[in-house]
Protein backbone atom coordinates (compact mmCIF):
# COMPACT_ATOMS: atom_id res chain seq x y z
CA UNK A 1 0.00 0.00 0.00
CA UNK A 2 2.91 2.33 0.68
CA UNK A 3 3.85 2.56 -3.02
CA UNK A 4 0.19 3.04 -3.96
CA UNK A 5 -0.08 5.98 -1.53
CA UNK A 6 3.11 7.52 -2.91
CA UNK A 7 1.93 7.22 -6.53
CA UNK A 8 -1.50 8.59 -5.55
CA UNK A 9 0.11 11.56 -3.80
CA UNK A 10 2.22 12.37 -6.86
CA UNK A 11 -0.80 12.09 -9.16
CA UNK A 12 -2.90 14.07 -6.70
CA UNK A 13 -0.31 16.83 -6.64
CA UNK A 14 -0.06 17.10 -10.42
CA UNK A 15 -3.64 16.54 -11.61
CA UNK A 16 -5.40 19.49 -9.93
CA UNK A 17 -2.84 21.98 -11.22
CA UNK A 18 -2.92 20.48 -14.71
CA UNK A 19 -6.67 21.01 -14.79
CA UNK A 20 -6.40 24.50 -13.27
CA UNK A 21 -3.70 25.67 -15.67
CA UNK A 22 -5.64 24.15 -18.55
CA UNK A 23 -8.61 26.23 -17.43
CA UNK A 24 -6.43 29.36 -17.29
CA UNK A 25 -5.20 28.68 -20.82
CA UNK A 26 -8.82 28.49 -21.97
CA UNK A 27 -10.11 31.38 -19.83
CA UNK A 28 -7.23 33.81 -19.06
CA UNK A 29 -7.21 35.27 -15.56
CA UNK A 30 -8.67 33.73 -12.48
CA UNK A 31 -11.41 36.28 -11.90
CA UNK A 32 -14.69 34.49 -11.70
CA UNK A 33 -13.18 31.14 -10.68
CA UNK A 34 -14.92 31.25 -7.29
CA UNK A 35 -18.25 32.10 -8.86
CA UNK A 36 -17.76 29.17 -11.23
CA UNK A 37 -17.07 26.86 -8.28
CA UNK A 38 -20.48 27.73 -6.81
CA UNK A 39 -22.06 28.43 -10.23
CA UNK A 40 -24.41 25.46 -10.38
CA UNK A 41 -25.80 22.77 -8.10
CA UNK A 42 -23.34 20.06 -9.17
CA UNK A 43 -20.31 22.30 -8.68
CA UNK A 44 -21.63 23.46 -5.30
CA UNK A 45 -22.29 19.87 -4.20
CA UNK A 46 -18.78 18.85 -5.23
CA UNK A 47 -17.21 21.78 -3.39
CA UNK A 48 -19.33 21.07 -0.31
CA UNK A 49 -18.29 17.40 -0.40
CA UNK A 50 -14.64 18.41 -0.70
CA UNK A 51 -14.90 20.90 2.16
CA UNK A 52 -16.51 18.39 4.51
CA UNK A 53 -13.90 15.77 3.54
CA UNK A 54 -11.12 18.20 4.42
CA UNK A 55 -12.73 19.08 7.74
CA UNK A 56 -12.95 15.37 8.59
CA UNK A 57 -9.39 14.70 7.42
CA UNK A 58 -7.76 17.33 9.66
CA UNK A 59 -8.85 15.93 13.06
CA UNK A 60 -8.02 12.40 11.84
CA UNK A 61 -4.61 13.64 10.71
CA UNK A 62 -3.86 15.33 14.03
CA UNK A 63 -5.04 12.37 16.13
CA UNK A 64 -3.08 9.82 14.07
CA UNK A 65 0.01 12.05 14.05
CA UNK A 66 -0.05 12.32 17.82
CA UNK A 67 -0.64 8.60 18.23
CA UNK A 68 2.17 7.62 15.86
CA UNK A 69 4.59 10.47 16.61
CA UNK A 70 4.47 12.11 13.17
CA UNK A 71 5.96 15.54 13.87
CA UNK A 72 5.31 17.44 10.65
CA UNK A 73 1.52 17.00 10.73
CA UNK A 74 1.01 20.68 9.89
CA UNK A 75 2.67 20.08 6.49
CA UNK A 76 -0.29 17.94 5.46
CA UNK A 77 -2.82 20.61 6.47
CA UNK A 78 -0.82 23.25 4.58
CA UNK A 79 -0.57 20.99 1.52
CA UNK A 80 -4.31 20.31 1.76
CA UNK A 81 -4.96 24.06 1.57
CA UNK A 82 -2.31 24.86 -1.05
CA UNK A 83 -2.53 21.78 -3.29
CA UNK A 84 -5.61 19.81 -2.31
CA UNK A 85 -6.94 16.76 -0.58
CA UNK A 86 -5.95 14.64 -3.57
CA UNK A 87 -2.31 15.19 -2.55
CA UNK A 88 -2.52 15.67 1.22
CA UNK A 89 -4.50 12.53 2.06
CA UNK A 90 -2.36 10.00 0.15
CA UNK A 91 0.83 11.79 1.25
CA UNK A 92 -0.25 11.50 4.89
CA UNK A 93 -1.27 7.87 4.42
CA UNK A 94 2.16 7.22 2.92
CA UNK A 95 3.88 8.84 5.92
CA UNK A 96 1.57 6.94 8.28
CA UNK A 97 2.31 3.62 6.54
CA UNK A 98 6.08 4.27 6.76
CA UNK A 99 5.75 5.05 10.46
CA UNK A 100 3.74 1.88 11.07
CA UNK A 101 6.29 -0.22 9.18
CA UNK A 102 9.20 1.32 11.11
CA UNK A 103 7.42 0.68 14.41
CA UNK A 104 6.81 -2.96 13.47
CA UNK A 105 10.46 -3.54 12.54
Q: How much is the pLDDT for 73?
A: 94
Q: What is the pLDDT of residues 56-102, one digit of tens each?
A: 999 999 999 999 999 999 999 999 999 999 999 999 999 999 999 98
| Domain housing 35 | 2-104
* Residue 90, CB-side half-sphere exposure with 13 Å CA sphere: 18
Answer whether residue 8 shows pLDDT above 80: yes
Give the chain's mean pLDDT. Answer: 87
Number of domains within the chain: 1
Kindly report the pTM of this predicted structure. 0.81
Q: How much is the pLDDT for 24?
A: 67
Amino acid sequence: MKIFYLVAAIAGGIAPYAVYFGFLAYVPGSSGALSLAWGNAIAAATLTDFTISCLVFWPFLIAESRKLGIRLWWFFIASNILIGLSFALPAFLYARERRLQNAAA
